[in-house]
Amino acid sequence: MILFLTMALQAAAPAVPAPPAPPPPPWTPRMKVDPVTNKPSGSVSVTSADGNSRLVVRCDRRGDNVVSIQFIPTPPFAAATPRPVSITVDGGTALGANWDFPGRGAVVSDEAIVTNLTVAIAHGRNIKVRVIDPAEKPLDATFAGPPSDAPIRQVVESCGYTFGVVPVHEAAPPATPTP
């Protein structure tokens, strides 16, 4: 009888959900194959020292191949016009430009800017980001650099870029007049 009661109580007990999987270590590439284009793409990221933002290097391969750098704060930004963002690596000169604010975070995808920033970030140990948010307030975040350039190189090269080289696009051939 006691055995029956014990089994009945165990069967009636709610299942304990498994704990969530721990996040991947910082700067671990997350690669995937795009289901539409069947091409590899991916991203690599790190969380700020205070845990309130992420710095992401991302490859998107829908249409044109695009490598972007993203700054995603918690709470997220509202959509806004392009705003100043600067990155300082290992106490060097701040590298700044206006980034897009499509909502949620700040993004830059200009190939020359992304090439310079990915190389700087890939070789940095201490990365500081300063963003002028949509409310005109500065937001500062500090990130630990990657262990080597390999994680960022893998993401950039998965997009067909050569790490450290600004892509050069072939000019379209001139249109031929029709008689």
Question: Residues 6 or more apart from 143 whose CB is under 8 A from it?
Answer: 46, 47, 48, 49, 55, 126, 127, 128, 129
Right CATH number for 24-158 from 2.60.40.1880, 3.40.630.40, 2.40.110.10, 2.40.30.10?
2.60.40.1880
pLDDT for the residue 21? 64
Q: How confident is the model at residue 14 (pLDDT cuts 50, 70, 90)?
A: low
Among the listed residues 94, 97, 89, the one whose alpha carbon sits nearest the alpha carbon of residue 144: 89
Which one-letter amino acid corresponds to residue 169?
H
pLDDT digits (tens, 9 = 90+) for 58-81: 998 877 889 999 999 999 999 999
Per-residue pLDDT band for 9 (boundaries 50, 70, 90) equals very low
- pTM of the predicted structure, to 2 decimals: 0.81
| Residue extents of the structural domains in the chain | 24-158
| Cα 63-111-131 angle, rounded to 5 deg | 110
Percent of the chain at pLDDT above 90?
68
Q: Which two tokens stand for residue 179?
A: 């008689």
Per residue in 121-159, pLDDT (tens digit) is 999 999 999 999 999 999 999 999 999 999 999 999 999
Residue recorded with tokens 């700040």: 106
**Cα gap 69→168, rounded to integer Å:** 19
pLDDT at 5: 43
pLDDT band for position 109 (50/70/90)? very high
Name the helix (H) or strand (E) containing 119.
Answer: helix 111-123
89 has a pLDDT exceeding 90:
yes
